[in-house]
Chain A
Amino acid sequence: MITIRKRLTDTGFGALAIAVFVFSAFPVYWMVSTSFLPNNRIRGENLAFFPTPDVFTLDNYRAAIFNARAPFAPAVANSIGVTFLTLVIALVVGFVAALALTRFQFKGRRTFIVLILVVQMIPGEAMIISLFRIIDGWQLLNTIIGLTLVYAAGVLPFTIWTLRGFVNGVPKELEEAAMIDGCSRAGAFWRVTFPLLAPGLVATGVFAFIQAWNEFITALVIMQRPEAMTLPLWLRTFLQATQATNWGAVMAASVLIAIPAVIFFLIVQGRMTGGLVSGAVKG
């Protein structure tokens, strides 16, 4: 009797687990599936749940990429430019700052760390008005430089905070040992600590990448001209059309935007939860 009951509850939990999978994966599946379907199988009551070879089409991608009102190529170029610059600035500036905060004792260090933490809590949504005025005042509206500066400032606190954690994770004794063996302080850092930090730098860089790639509201305020659009703004233009929404093209556009973000995210996701858990459980 007990084994039968156990088997029944196991089956029940198994079904629940599959339900969780279906609920989480279905929207993503539906996005990809719709993007490959022709309009007559997207619209209409006879829905196709799978892009079988006889209906499979790339028309939606063509419609998305060769959209006359919202050109794809400049949007990609802008997004890549802004994301790449943000990543480089955040990593270089964040890394040196993290070094200062971990390998040196000085007055004001604690204050700076507190500030870094507090700044992350200021909602960017509140700041758009003054940021718009300031960037406008510097004649940097609709420029990659203007948006990059805002993004760099946006991701920097997080970058410094995370890199600080990574540098702290490498014991100072390793460097000191290298120094006793005759390395200079910079040499010890460069030869011993830096290689150990590479995974941390990659993870932090990927997060900066994802944040800049996905950012919407600041771009909405600063990049108002069609030729200055980043990819999220480009995607939005498909929804504003006065005629009925072309969902096939919207899904194709969504896939194009989501792919880099999803891939990079999957590379580093393991590091997301770890930090919050270690040290939190014992408390």
Chain B
Amino acid sequence: MSLLADVPAPPTSPRQEIRQPSRKPVLPWLLLSAAMVILGVLTGFPLVRLVLMSFQEYERAQLMGQPASWVGLDNYATILTDVDGFWPVLARSFVLMVVLVAVTITLGMLVALLMMRVGKGLRLLMSIGLLLAWAMPSLAATTVWGWLFDTQYGVINNVLTAITGDRWFGYSWLLDPLSFFVIVACIVVWGAVPFVAFTLYAGLTQIPEEVIEAAQLDGANAFQRFRLIQLPYVRTILTVLVVLSMIWDLKLFTQVFVLQDIGGDRELTSTIGVYIYQTGMAQGHYGLASAIGVVFVIVMLAIAYPYVRRTLREEEL
């Protein structure tokens, strides 16, 4: 706030204001300067540094002060021909992302429709549960789900034993990559459905009631009403939700990383973010990790491009 006080006295009369554009616009840039310095130094510079390091041989020795040598596209060649390391990670991350987005959006839509259908009391009950799940930090959510699925004493194995009669105690869900990702999906979907459901519900409530009633009088059943009226109305919201979910689910880090701590196979379960950490921070191949990081940034910007364009158009900039 003190910055405001330092600002030179602004023009007071409307006439002076009209003349303002002819003056050099110092004031707005002054107001932006702090943000530009922070973003330039801690986002712009690291991005440039990331790109530079991706063209260098940068290992533990360089960390200790040895000069880094330029190796051109070697790092990129290494990762792009790494059929046992990089490609499976990339494929895994994308498949996981597609599944997570599909499940999250579908469940979110179903929950939103259910919220439309039930009475006030039940809707409040649903909202309370969804809010709790939404508010949980992803790290705490991961430890809780890890505990639910714990090999020895987890409640899931306990209940499964009671229901099926087989002994589930000692069954490890994290050891097998497939069930590992089932748990990852539980954590992510559990935390992400509330946002999708609330947003879609808010959209659905804005559809004029007459439209739905008219369709009902014309004999449209519930599914037709959904497909022909509700879905088209919330299509734009849905698009935004899909893009945002794609971005969030491809960036997945905490859930995978911490479940690996609890007992997953790091080789077979890493996603892009975790792989960058392992390659760079754990194994010390900073140059290679940077190249993967650059590829990752490009992929994310490509996915986000339609969203960015749409937002800018909507804001009429």
0/1 per residue, A152-168, Cβ < 8 Å to B?
11001100100000000
Given contacts A185-B10, A273-B195, A283-B236, contact A134 B293 (CB under 8 A): no
Contacts of A253 in B (CB 8 A): 143
A156–B39 touching, CB < 8 Å: yes
Interface residues of B in 266-316 (CB under 8 A from A): 272-273, 276-277, 280-281, 286, 289-290, 292-294, 296-297, 300-301, 304, 307-308, 311-312, 314-315
Whole-angstrom CA separation of A101 from B190 in the bound complex: 37
Contacts of A31 in B (CB 8 A): 140, 143-144, 147
Whole-angstrom CA separation of A138 from B207 in the bound complex: 55
27 of the cross-chain contacts (CB-CB < 8 Å) are A17-B122, A17-B125, A17-B126, A24-B132, A27-B133, A30-B144, A30-B155, A31-B147, A34-B147, A96-B4, A109-B28, A112-B32, A117-B308, A117-B311, A119-B43, A123-B251, A123-B300, A129-B293, A130-B53, A134-B46, A153-B43, A189-B4, A190-B4, A217-B253, A277-B202, A280-B203, A281-B234
Contacts of B292 in A (CB 8 A): 126
Given contacts A130-B50, A262-B135, A279-B314, contact A99 B296 (CB under 8 A): no
0/1 per residue, B5-28, Cβ < 8 Å to A?
001011110100000010001011
B237–A276 touching, CB < 8 Å: yes
Interface residues of A in 22-44 (CB under 8 A from B): 22-25, 27-28, 30-31, 34, 42-44
Choose from A14, A24, A126, A255 the contact partner of B129 (Cβ within 8 Å): A24
Cβ-closest 8 pairs across A and B: A125-B273, A153-B42, A24-B129, A126-B293, A185-B10, A100-B31, A106-B25, A121-B304
Whole-angstrom CA separation of A254 from B262 in the bound complex: 15
Contacts of B160 in A (CB 8 A): none
Interface residues of B in 73-115 (CB under 8 A from A): 111, 114-115
Shortest distance between the CB of B3 and any CB in chain A (Å): 5
0/1 per residue, B246-277, Cβ < 8 Å to A?
01001101100110011000000000110011
Choose from A118, A125, A179 the contact partner of B301 (Cβ within 8 Å): A118
Whole-angstrom CA separation of A276 from B243 in the bound complex: 13
Interface presence of B134 (CB below 8 A): yes
Interface presence of A258 (CB below 8 A): yes
Shortest distance between the CB of B253 and any CB in chain A (Å): 5
B273–A123 touching, CB < 8 Å: yes
A214–B138 touching, CB < 8 Å: yes
Contacts of A196 in B (CB 8 A): none
Total interface residues on A, CB under 8 Å, equals: 109
0/1 per residue, B182-207, Cβ < 8 Å to A?
00000000100111001100110011
0/1 per residue, A222-266, Cβ < 8 Å to B?
000000000010011001100011010011011101100110011
The winner among B115, B123, B134, B169 for most chain A CB atoms within 10 A is: B134
Choose from A133, A152, A247, A269 the contact partner of B153 (Cβ within 8 Å): A247
Contacts of A136 in B (CB 8 A): 63
Interface residues of A (CB under 8 A from B): 13-14, 16-18, 20-25, 27-28, 30-31, 34, 42-45, 47, 89, 92-94, 96-97, 99-101, 104-110, 112-114, 117-119, 121-134, 136, 149-150, 152-153, 156-157, 160, 176, 179-180, 184-186, 189-190, 210, 213-214, 216-217, 220-221, 232, 235-236, 239-240, 244-245, 247, 250-251, 253-255, 257-258, 261-262, 265-266, 269, 272-274, 276-277, 279-281, 283
Contacts of A186 in B (CB 8 A): 4, 7, 9-10
Interface presence of B233 (CB below 8 A): yes
**A-B CB contacts (within 8 Å), total count:** 328
Interface residues of B in 117-169 (CB under 8 A from A): 117-118, 122-123, 125-126, 128-141, 143-148, 150, 152-153, 155, 158, 161, 169
Whole-angstrom CA separation of A213 from B35 in the bound complex: 21
A257–B140 touching, CB < 8 Å: yes
Contacts of A131 in B (CB 8 A): 42, 46
Contacts of A127 in B (CB 8 A): 43, 46-47, 50, 293
Contacts of B280 in A (CB 8 A): 128-129, 132
Shortest distance between the CB of B286 and any CB in chain A (Å): 5
A13–B117 touching, CB < 8 Å: yes
A99–B144 touching, CB < 8 Å: no
Whole-angstrom CA separation of A125 from B50 in the bound complex: 12
A27–B148 touching, CB < 8 Å: yes
